[in-house]
Amino acid sequence: MSTPTVSVVIPTYNRANLVSQAIESALAQTHPPHEVIVVDDGSTDDTVTVGAKYGPVVRYLRQTNSGPSVARNLGVDAATGDWIALLDSDDLWLPTKLEKQLRLLRQFPDAAACYCDFQYVDLEGRLLEEHSGFREPRSRDATFCQLLDGCPIPTPTLVIRRDCLAGGLRFEPDIRYGQDWDLFARLADRYSFIAVPEPLVLIRKHASNITNGVPDELTRDVLKVIDRVFTLDSAKPYKRRKSQAIAQYATSAAVGCLRQRDCGRARGWAMKALWHSPTQITAWKCLIRAILRMPPNLNTTNTHCSL
């Protein structure tokens, strides 16, 4: 049996200080990648010099600034490996990530993708939170059901069989927030996923993370993803869950607007949440605080997908 080859795709924008660490974590794998493709989304910093210093194993591609979906798609289109492994430019892999995922994929040859557990860390590598909820193997239905309510699978954890992306399965360019959820749901509609129940990825939380401080734009994109997910064939038995998913994300937007002291937008999002789920307690709290212009004091988690 031939050794499977892996193409690593790393989109980046103005992260010259971080992308080199992501590249080095890919090159340090015990199962070495066939290639590392860095897609520069029109950076204005020194990213171009970073991409050039690693030699031929790292392919540096550059595009005009078009967003992460277009950058990832350019990398996927350029990939030549049997498998495509996605890595964000501010995150890191532990050295055995690819080896352990490919080993499990050999045991489940029908699987189209493999993900793994992960840890949240800060820029200095200090542990903030460890996720340990994934189990293997997963049926196609079980994975798809997880993806009805959000995206529990962070992009840097995933390895995808390249031939499963044939026929136009790509990240949606018009979706900036939640494009990973959208693509993974469409993959899970057709194929099974499996998981390595071990944290093999370090996801770094920092001030320039893409989802910081944009509750309106993020939630509008997420609501667009929900509409798309619930049109898939596998979603037909679960139509009633759509309203709950909309309410969940509209409530998260209301909480975010309250924290920004924007009571008008908070009121609008809370009312949208209550239209879809009148029993959403947090949405009622948001609405009351927004109407009375009270300071935010909500014990809630802003749930959204990982980018």
**How do the domains of the chain map onto residue ranges?**
6-204, 215-292
CB contact set of 59 (below 8 Å; sequence gap of 6+): 35, 36, 37, 38, 78
Class of 215-292 in CATH:
mainly alpha
6-204 has which fold?
Spore Coat Polysaccharide Biosynthesis Protein SpsA; Chain A (3.90.550)
- List the end-to-end C-alpha distance of the chain, in Å, as a whole number: 35
Please name the amino acid found at residue 263.
Answer: C
* Confidence label for 300 from pLDDT (cuts 50, 70 and 90): very low
Q: Give the model's pLDDT for residue 138.
A: 62
pTM above 0.95, yes or no: no
Chain-centre distance for alpha carbon 122:
18
For 45-100, how does the pLDDT look when each residue is reduced to its tens digit (9 = 90+)? 999 888 778 888 899 999 999 999 999 999 999 999 999 999 999 999 999 999 99
Greatest Cα pair distance in the chain:
67
Q: Give the model's pLDDT for residue 149.
A: 83
